[in-house]
Amino acid sequence: MDSDAKRVVLALVISVAVLFAWTTFVMPPEPKQAPAPTATPAQTAQATAAAPAPAAMPAPAPAPQVMPAYQDVVVETPLMRATFSTKGGALRKVVLKDYFAKPGQQGGEMVLLDLADSEPYALGLALVKLDPHLAQRPFQASAQRLEVTAAGQSLSFSAESAGVRVVKTYTFRPDSHAFQLSVSLQNKNAGRIELTPELILAEYVSKMHANSYAFTGSQVVAGGSLEELDHGDLEDSPVVAGPIDCLTLSIPYFMGAVAPESWPAVAQGKPSARGWADAKLMTATLVSPLLPMDAGQSLDLKFLVYYGPKELHVLEPLGHSLAMAVDFGWFDVIAKPMLAGLNFFHDYVNNYGVAIIIITVLIKLLFWPLQNKSYESMKKMQKLQPQIAKIREKYKDDKQEMNQQVMQLYKTYKVNPLGGCLPMLAQVPVFIAFYKVLGSSIELRHAPFWLWINDLSAPDRLPIGFEIPFVGDGIPVLTLLMGASMFITQKMSPATGDPTQQKMMMLMPVIFTVMFINFPSGLVLYWFVQNLLGIGQQWLVNRRKD
């Protein structure tokens, strides 16, 4: 392999290393403190830009001076326990009964949402021009508790402020993490008013640490296009306007979402969504189009609300483009078939670790011919090394002539200097797509494999009873085996003529082992099996006689 080809190979390897290093070690900047999540004048202007000038409006209701004692109303379904509050008739806490905090169904039921009294509750409603503090006002609940055993059971909260009667009705199903929210507005003022209702989602920033590889932030689907606003983006209070299909606030593996069913016919302008975050909390707010209401007129707003796992087979039947929240970035078109394949094999073997091995073998078979060409090309290049060394020595003072002689040598022996690295380059999108799937799919969360690996979404650690500095509680056995397999692969690969590059390549197993220490064990398993298969293929190529 000549120096140019070596540089290409080295660049490829370093690029992959940089990719891992970026996703692993580059932490988000320290969040800055921000004011309370209220709309800025610019955002409000953008949200209502298409609306006409407002009618003569009654004075906005003042903020409540004394907070009353709010009451919780618990809604119990077979899948979730949702705690609503008379504070704004909003959602304070969600517990998922079919998910657990720790592997092996340990640690209690999964608490998806648990907002403190001082925070804005989820699904709080604000009427910007009349009562921006509506979400903090006491509502009257229709029941003290609701046990959902049949579809269609509902819970209502009602209040009246600034001459507007508001009734929020939640309707549940026993077999779904989704429920309906209907907001009924009645203008009891003497004249015409204009409203821009806002519905808020809220979540704690700290939950992003559950998995740094998975997306945390807000996702907006508008007109069929997905826009993702991570925590850093939310700090800039972004606004997305358009035909909003759904708005989510996502944490690793789970999300809260709201999707408008329809807007009243009198709606003017477009809906919009805005985000906000500080060091502690992040919010996503769905802003309604401008709604003019004559005296005595009533309007109904209907929403689909979802609090549950980010699973395609759960979200796709709900519509509203909610399934687009399961997004794997640029390589989504490759990653989703891989996820489907994982689930397909899991249905047969009932073990996601085994399913990963099967997928890895299939990927290896898919690229076997290309990889064979790569190995054979590297082998041919190795045989030319003595002649290349002589050319370099002979023309060491004339690089142009040296390169021409080397290229002529390749031409004579019909060797493509890039033949060794192009097949590797073709595999990069597949690898990154599988990396995204294994790093952020809820299917891998708490999924056991074998022996000490009881969670394929967490780093592998064999407990030894005490913590190892910089590693944690246990020995990363699978990661060390992965590093060893990579070292063997390097030893079996045809050596280059440059001793410096040989030393650098032999350092790669050490670098990758360090990088993989905190990777999900599912990803380490994939890389380990890939290396084992690569060793076998390299052995077959090396023993083949020319």
pLDDT of residue 65: 59
Count CA atoms within 13 Å of residue 418 on its CB side: 6
pLDDT of residue 45: 43
CB 238 within 8 A of CB 229: yes
The torsion angles phi and psi of 293, rounded to 5 degrees, stand at: -135, 125
* Closest C-alpha among 223, 234, 211, 261 to residue 34: 234
Strand order in the sheet with 90-102: 106-114, 90-102, 80-85, 72-76, 145-147
What count of residues does the chain have?
Answer: 546
387-395, long-range: CB < 8 A, 24+ apart = 388/2, 388/497, 389/497
What residue spans of 261-320 are helical by DSSP H?
312-315
Question: In a structure prediction context, what are the per-residue pLDDT tens digits for the chain, which is 546 residues long?
Answer: 444 444 444 545 555 554 444 444 444 443 344 444 444 444 444 444 444 444 556 666 666 655 667 899 999 999 999 999 999 999 999 999 989 988 888 888 999 999 998 889 999 999 887 888 888 889 999 999 999 999 889 999 999 988 899 999 999 999 999 999 999 999 998 888 888 999 999 998 877 666 667 788 899 998 888 888 888 888 877 788 888 999 999 988 899 999 999 888 888 888 998 988 888 899 999 999 999 999 889 999 999 999 999 998 899 999 999 999 888 878 888 888 888 888 999 999 989 999 999 988 998 888 888 777 777 777 777 777 777 777 777 777 778 888 887 788 777 777 776 666 666 677 778 878 888 887 788 888 888 888 888 888 888 888 777 777 676 778 888 898 988 988 888 777 766 556 666 677 777 888 888 888 888 888 889 889 988 998 888 888 777 655
Question: What's this model's pTM, rounded to 2 decimal places?
Answer: 0.77
Q: Are strands 145-147 and 72-76 parallel, antiparallel or unpaired?
A: parallel
CB 183 within 8 A of CB 197: yes
Which one-letter amino acid corresponds to residue 345?
F
pLDDT of residue 303: 95
Q: Which residues of 236-267 are buried (b: 16+ CB within 10 A; e: fewer)?
A: ebbbbbeebbbbbbbbbbbbbbbbbeebbeeb
Q: Which domains does the chain have, with CATH numbers?
A: 72-327 (2.70.98.90), 339-543 (no CATH)
Strand order in the sheet with 140-141: 140-141, 153-161, 164-172, 178-187, 298-309, 254-262, 244-251, 217-222, 225-230
C-alpha–C-alpha distance, residues 360 and 346, integer Å = 14
